[in-house]
Structure 1
Amino acid sequence: MEKIRMLSTLGLMGAMRSLSSAFEAATGIHVDADFAPTLALLRRLRAGEAADLVILTREGLDEVIGEGRVIADSAADLARSYVGLAVRAGQPHPDISSEAALRKALLAARSVAYSRLGASGVYFAQLIVRMGIGTEINAKATIVEQGFTAERLVRGEADLAVQQISELKQVGGIEVIGPVPHELQTPAVFSAGRMTDAKQAKAADRLLRYLASPEVMPVLRRSGLEP
């Protein structure tokens, strides 16, 4: 069976599990996928890791296009994702509908889990500084080096978890409260491109066309993404 090697940001993990299976069933091409935060993937690509196709934040993809690692003409924006907050299942949902309400909820939490390497973590670290509560939140934060922050809710290590909504929804035993107020954030855009040295270029292009097609939109929406 023909195989494509794909490196993808965690934000697409839920959707890609379903989409990869559908693609394989339709084409006979297997997608060998590895998921990690964008910053971790950028490090691996720069260290020489091989792949046929990558899915990163748009900013990350533009960086590797500029470095000659990804073919510019192959780039396609797949989906947008908003950063949200979650609690363990059954716990009260604090009001996060405004900046003032969000500040109150964050300060009241025993601990807030967020990612160090993911796009959501970089954004959240900057946000709490802009809100003037960076010192207070970081003093009690649970920093996740890699993986899903909502897992810390299930373990009882944090009261709130912050991450892309599409990533929060991949953890069982939690409830997504909702997005950070839209006026406080710009959605992350996840984009795909074919590697310059792809060994399976034609198959990778075929997968890219599929991922950019209207038929995948319902799957993206169910996973917490906006096509």
Structure 2
Amino acid sequence: MQKIYRPLFATLVLLSVSTGAMAKEVTVMMSGGFKAALEKLTPQFEAKSGDKIILVSGPSMGKTPQAIPARLARGEKADVVIMVGDALTNLEKDNWIQPGSRVELADSPIGMVVKQGDPKPNIKQEADLRKTLLQAKSIAYSDSASGLYISNQLFKKLGIEDKVKEKAHKVERIPVASEVAKGKYAIGFQQVSELLPVPGVTFIGELPENVQYITRFAGAVILKAEHRQEGKALLDFLSSAQAQDIIRATGMRTVKTAPPVKQSDTVQ
């Protein structure tokens, strides 16, 4: 019996080794806004492709060493980047991206949180939001696209820039909601998809549409990627119809149009 089954066993072992050798580790540098969606979609992609996703997190922009442009500049390797669309455009201009590989993935609105257990302010209308900001003891915003909009545009639109500048604070690198959960700030703004996963806070809602700012997330294959085809397959999967339910469940919106027009040159 052993002689009969040894060839079969050997064949199975060879197939297993061969399959393992074919599987690729696809390294993805990704900013926080798309993180929750990718983490939920990763098991589906890995089961379908046989490849493994390696996540490297960092802001799309900013001066911290963890920012994606800084990681690439110092030689960190990646196959794919997923980040704020405007920041990805800058990488394209600097020839970091494989031409034609960009894929639009999701649109992300800005929302607000308070510490869990604190009173829930009303921000449904512009006047309600203005009142909430004026009454808040402190305000936190991110160092990425949403934070640039909050600090450079929203306060001006609401006519309260001078009244809130002393109590408005930028949070670098880490999720804004985590600082609100600790009680360091009374209210916090960031993209909804970055607020929802953080424990210890209450999500109040999105900004009113007339003062909302939508951040486009997009992905692309790095020019020097080791696994270009696998990276492209991942981006195709993330932009497919089957991924949209999970993308929307994490607080983002399905892409229906071309990349949004920047509301100001201050948001880059």
Pairwise CA distance, 1:128? 1.2
Amino acid at match of 1:15: A
CA contact (8 A) 1:142 1:157 kept: no
How many residues were matched structurally?
A: 226
2:40 aligns with one of 18, 28, 31: 18
Once residues 24 and 46 of structure 1 are traced to their aligned partners in structure 2, the CA distance between those partners, rounded to angstroms, is 29
2:162 alignment counterpart: 135
Is it true that 1:84 corresponds to 2:111 in the alignment?
yes
1:166 alignment counterpart: 193
Pairwise CA distance, 1:130? 3.5
Pairwise CA distance, 1:135? 3.4
Moved more, 157-166 or 172-181: 172-181
Q: Identical aligned pairs, as a percentage?
A: 32
Is it true that 1:70 corresponds to 2:92 in the alignment?
no
Q: Which runs of 5+ in 2 are unaligned?
A: 1-22, 62-66, 255-268
1:125 alignment counterpart: 151
1:123-202 to 2 correspondences below 5 Å: 123-126=149-152, 127-202=154-229
Pairwise CA distance, 1:101? 1.4
Helix, strand or coil for the counterpart of 2:165?
helix
4+ runs deviating over 4 angstroms: none
Once residues 23 and 136 of structure 1 are traced to their aligned partners in structure 2, the CA distance between those partners, rounded to angstroms, is 48
Helix, strand or coil for the counterpart of 1:139?
coil
CA contact (8 A) 1:37 1:119 kept: no
Once the two structures are superposed, residues 35-69 of structure 1 have per-residue CA deviations (whole angstroms, 9 ceiling, x without a partner) of 22210212322343321000111111111111111
CA contact (8 A) 2:149 2:213 kept: no
Once residues 74 and 165 of structure 1 are traced to their aligned partners in structure 2, the CA distance between those partners, rounded to angstroms, is 27
2:51 aligns with one of 22, 29, 46: 29
Q: Which runs of 5+ in 1 are unaligned?
A: none
TM-score, structure 1 as length reference: 0.94
TM-score, structure 2 as length reference: 0.80
Moved more, 182-191 or 38-47: 38-47
Once residues 177 and 29 of structure 2 are traced to their aligned partners in structure 1, the CA distance between those partners, rounded to angstroms, is 22
Once the two structures are superposed, residues 112-169 of structure 1 have per-residue CA deviations (whole angstroms, 9 ceiling, x without a partner) of 11112x1111111112134332333231234211121111121111111100000000
Identify which of structures 1 and 2 has the higher relative contact order when contacts are C-alpha pairs closer than 8 Å and 6+ apart: 1
Determine which structure has more spread, i.e. the larger CA radius of gyration.
Answer: 2
Once residues 50 and 135 of structure 1 are traced to their aligned partners in structure 2, the CA distance between those partners, rounded to angstroms, is 43
2:28 alignment counterpart: 6
After superposition, the CA RMSD in angstroms is: 1.4
Once residues 170 and 86 of structure 2 are traced to their aligned partners in structure 1, the CA distance between those partners, rounded to angstroms, is 23
Once the two structures are superposed, residues 4-57 of structure 1 have per-residue CA deviations (whole angstroms, 9 ceiling, x without a partner) of 111011001111111112211222211111122210212322343321000111
Once residues 9 and 136 of structure 1 are traced to their aligned partners in structure 2, the CA distance between those partners, rounded to angstroms, is 31
CA contact (8 A) 1:36 1:147 kept: no
Once residues 137 and 213 of structure 2 are traced to their aligned partners in structure 1, the CA distance between those partners, rounded to angstroms, is 27
